[in-house]
Chain A
Amino acid sequence: AQSVTQLGSHVSVSEGALVLLRCNYSSSVPPYLFWYVQYPNQGLQLLLKYFSGDTLVQGIKGFEAEFKRSQSSFNLRKPSVHWSDAAEYFCAVSDKGGKLIFGQGTELSVKP
């Protein structure tokens, strides 16, 4: 069975600072990994995904994530966070069957 654990339900950083959101996964097969963002009163939007190949994945809005098989991690980061990045972020894992398993979410707050 697959599972996802996001470390830290809430992260607060200053605008312009680096932000790192942590995600660990468990999967018995090579995983497909995703990061979604959810702004208030909106649905989920895909930031980036990893299927295979280069382990450093570039996404939208300046986000990137690194897949580390040895650590079962897929951490999301942005070098310089903007106030508009305040939202909830979800890590998800899937097998080839297409079923998404989500983590509990990490709420990102951005301080001026």
Chain B
Amino acid sequence: ETGVTQTPRHLVMGMTNKKSLKCEQHLGHNAMYWYKQSAKKPLELMFVYNFKEQTENNSVPSRFSPECPNSSHLFLHLHTLQPEDSALYLCASSQDWASGSGSSYNEQFFGPGTRLTVL
């Protein structure tokens, strides 16, 4: 497979369930991202991992727990979610998370997303 893949593509879960979203990139990138896309709202950056280290947590509730075991894989562990957490969760990757002067911007490549419904 090429590019950025996400599994599952669709997920329905109850508020007491525990589930995980998986993202895998085959582009040799070093940075990976989780975004939340809700209806009629801009995409929200949730987490950033750069060289397997978390560099950004955008005030995300603790019921969302990211994990990045290596530069190619990113997980989002879900537990005790709320109905308002229903959304499309998008994963992206880039060459690295540009930080500081002198770094050029690296394009982010997106996966197809996981459509999550919380009942």
A18 on interface, CB distance cutoff 8 Å: no
Residues of A within 8 A of B31 (CB): 98
- A101→B42 CA distance, assembly (Å): 8
Residues of B within 8 A of A44 (CB): 43, 90, 92, 110
Closest to A91 in B: B42
A14 on interface, CB distance cutoff 8 Å: no
Q: Which of A4, A36, A45, A104 contacts B40 (CB 8 A)?
A: A104
- A101→B108 CA distance, assembly (Å): 12
Contact A43 B111 (CB under 8 A): yes
Q: Which of B4, B97, B103, B112 contacts A41 (CB 8 A)?
A: B112
- A54→B75 CA distance, assembly (Å): 40
- A99→B47 CA distance, assembly (Å): 11
- From 31 to 67 in chain A, residues with beta carbon under 8 angstroms from any chain B beta carbon are 32, 36, 41-46, 49, 51
- A58→B51 CA distance, assembly (Å): 32
- A42→B115 CA distance, assembly (Å): 10
Contact B99 A98 (CB under 8 A): yes
**A59 CB, nearest partner CB in chain B, Å:** 12
- From 61 to 119 in chain B, residues with beta carbon under 8 angstroms from any chain A beta carbon are 90, 92, 94, 97-101, 103, 105-113, 115
Contact B112 A42 (CB under 8 A): yes
- A96→B41 CA distance, assembly (Å): 24
- A41→B108 CA distance, assembly (Å): 18
Residues of A in contact with B (beta carbons under 8 Å apart)? 4, 9, 32, 36, 41-46, 49, 51, 90, 94, 96-105
**Could you jot down 24 A-B contacts, CB within 8 Å?**
A4-B42, A9-B40, A41-B9, A41-B112, A41-B113, A41-B115, A42-B112, A42-B113, A43-B6, A43-B111, A44-B92, A46-B108, A94-B105, A96-B100, A96-B105, A97-B98, A98-B31, A98-B99, A98-B103, A98-B105, A98-B106, A99-B48, A100-B108, A104-B40
